[in-house]
Every structure is written in C-alpha cells, then in structure tokens.
Amino acid sequence: MLTIGKKRLEYGLFLAPMAGDTDHAFRSLCNRFGCEWTTSEMVSAKALIYELRCKKDIETVPGKTAPLAAVYPDETHHSVQLFGSEPDIMAEAAARICACDYRGAMFSQPPAAIDINMGCPMPKIAGNGEGCALMDRPELAARIVRCVKDAVPVPVTVKIRAGTDTTAGTADFAKLLEQSGASLICVHARTKKELYRAGIHPDVIRAVKEAVSIPVVGNGDIRTFEDVAAMMRQTGCDGIAIGRAALGNPWIFRMIIDGFEGRSFSPPSAEERIRMALSHAELLIAEKGERSGLAECRKHLAYYTRGMRGSAAVRNELMTAPDLAGVKEALCKILRTGADGSEACDD
C-alpha cells in the first residue's frame, strides 16, 4: 500500500508522464485497466504565469498551457507536472493550478499533487537549466521544492533521474528533496547522458530508497509483470511508473495486477486492439476537435497496430485518413486482412 497525501494506492501503479502522449484521453484509458495514478504532460511554469499576465483578450489569444494543466472531473488521483528553474515562478504557477486560477482554466478540479520535473534530459529543457539540469544545482532544486510546498495545499512529488553524467550523489540529492518537503520521489533509473537507451541502474533506486523515508517509485524498462517483480525485489521501491510500454498497450496495468493477484493474464485479441485504437481516436477527436485529434491519434494508432497481420499494407492509409470514418475503415482492413474476424467493424 502506497500513500500520497490522503490517496491510497493498493498496487503502486503509475503512468509515467510523457510529453505529447499522456493527455486526458490516454490517461483515462490507462485508468480503465487499473492504473492508479497519472501525471500530466510537462507544464511550463513560466508559460502559465506569462499567459496569465498577458493583456490580450483570451477569446482571441487563448492560453496554450491550460489544456496541459487541466485536471478533468474524473481524475481524482492525478498530479500536474511543472518544470522551471525559478522558485517564485514555480510556486505561483503551482498555487494557481491548485486554485484553478489561470488563463483558460477548463475545470474547477484541483490536482491531487504537484509534481516537479527534475528528470527531463532533452536539450531544450535541460539545456535551459530546467529538468534534469537541476540535479547539478541541489541548493536551487531544494529551494524550488520548499517554495512550491509552502504555496500549495497538496503533496509535492519530484521526478528525477539516476544522475546527469554519473550516478554519484543521487541518493544525497533525493534526501535533500525529502528534507525540503517532497512527499514522494520517482526515479527514472537512467542518467541524463543515457537518455532512453536500453538498460537501467536499479542500484540507484535502491540507494534512494535507503536514503529517504518517503515513498520511492521506480521507472525504466518495465514491460512485463516479471520486470515489476524484479525491480521491486532488487530495489525495495514502493511503486512502479510505466511509460513507453503503455503506449498502444493500456492493458499492461491489468497484466501487472493479475500478476500481483496470481491470476493468468489473457492478452487482448486483434479485435480488442482494434476496438481500443478506435476508442482512443474517438476520445482524442471529442476532446481536441477532428483536426488536432486526428493528427495526434496517428502515432497511437501505429502503436496499437504494430506487429498485427496486415498492418504494414494498410499503414499509409491509416496515417493519411482524412477523418474518423477513414480511420475506422483502415483499422477494419487490418482486421480483415489478418483474418481475425470483423465484428469490431460492424455498425
């Protein structure tokens, strides 16, 4: 049992935040299959505050940050992840998000926690002194956590990496974050230098777990229940965050829960995969409009259909479909080509 504030997680299953992927549509599908905690895509604290101070009419210049920061009414176990390097801006943005008082706020639902990104390794983030770069500035990182903690009524969690160039000092860094008010630390067990390549450092997760008394969540190279069991056994972590392995595969959470409960897991059939791909596309279009939703769903459709018989022959049609009806027709062609039946295509 893992606790974040007043929220209890029976299995400690997290969907790791992924820029461009973990929007509400995808989060809701993962929740459907047992994901217990989700986190938003990265939200720029500076952008949110600057948009708030913009004097232009919101009807003509809507805030671009609001959709990323939105907490939907059905999201009771959800945190909004902020990135930035200025403590006062981070604190104000966090407070505004918790009060749902920012430009273009869509709902009045506050997040269950504020998550601080100290793990993004990408040059446009880390190169600007944000994300993983904060691990090389522990005093500033600690000040950010303290300022955000003092500004919000919800727990503050932090996502870090195994280090920047090396793993030395990561446990001490995590301890400093705890002392500054962090309620949970998620460790992506690769260094900034290693980006997303195969192979992780479970020893760093263990070192962090041994250094702090707050919950520690492990992240990296989780694809099966055996991976989960091995990480927990090797590191003693309290929970698991799943990222890329959930793309096109929200069933992974059900698979892990079945493993914990000693049940056998039945993988989704081709028809179930097609139905889920179509459902995902429909959710995106409903929430973002046909043009944006259709554009964003294409990468997810590729994940859902990867490796399916007949998918290669129809991929171009799937990626260029002009509307939802075209997407459905292309998905149905894959199902028929694979000779797996066509019930998912019936009206």
Task: Report the amino acid identity of residue 51.
Answer: E
**Cα–Cα distances in angstroms (integers) from residue 156 to residues 91, 116, 152, 253, in the given order:** 11, 7, 8, 24
Please state, in angstroms and rounded to a whole number, the distance separating the CA atoms of residues 7 and 75. 12
The reported pLDDT for the residue numbered 343 is 46
pLDDT surpassing 80 at residue 344: no
Task: Determine the structural domain holding residue 280 and report its residue range.
Answer: 270-338
Q: Is residue 6 part of a domain?
A: yes
Distance of CA 28 to the CA centre of its chain: 12
Return mean pLDDT, the chain.
93
Same domain, 237 and 282: no
Q: What is the mean pLDDT of residues 191-209?
A: 91
Distance of CA 146 to the CA centre of its chain: 23
Angle at 159 between CA 230 and CA 280, to 5 degrees: 80
Q: What is the mean pLDDT of residues 211-231?
A: 97
Res. 346 pLDDT band, cuts 50 70 90: low
Question: Comparing C-alpha atoms, which of 217, 344, 183 is closest to residue 270?
Answer: 344
- In percent, how much of the chain has pLDDT > 70? 95
The CATH number given to whatever domain includes residue 161 is 3.20.20.70
Same domain, 239 and 221: yes
Final residue in a domain of this structure, among 260, 279, 309: 260
Final residue in a domain of this structure, among 235, 260, 285: 260
Q: Is residue 345 part of a domain?
A: no
Same domain, 65 and 213: yes
The reported pLDDT for the residue numbered 345 is 61
- Per-residue pLDDT reduced to its tens digit, 109-134: 999 999 999 999 999 999 999 999 99
Same domain, 80 and 187: yes
Number of structural domains in the chain: 2
Known catalytic residue at 132: no
Q: Is residue 347 part of a domain?
A: no
Same domain, 205 and 168: yes
- Per-residue pLDDT reduced to its tens digit, 17-53: 999 999 999 999 999 999 999 999 999 999 999 998 8
- Among 120, 132, 186, 237, which one carries the catalytic annotation? 120
Same domain, 291 and 178: no
The reported pLDDT for the residue numbered 193 is 87
Same domain, 201 and 279: no
Q: What is the mean pLDDT of residues 176-180?
A: 98
Same domain, 213 and 115: yes
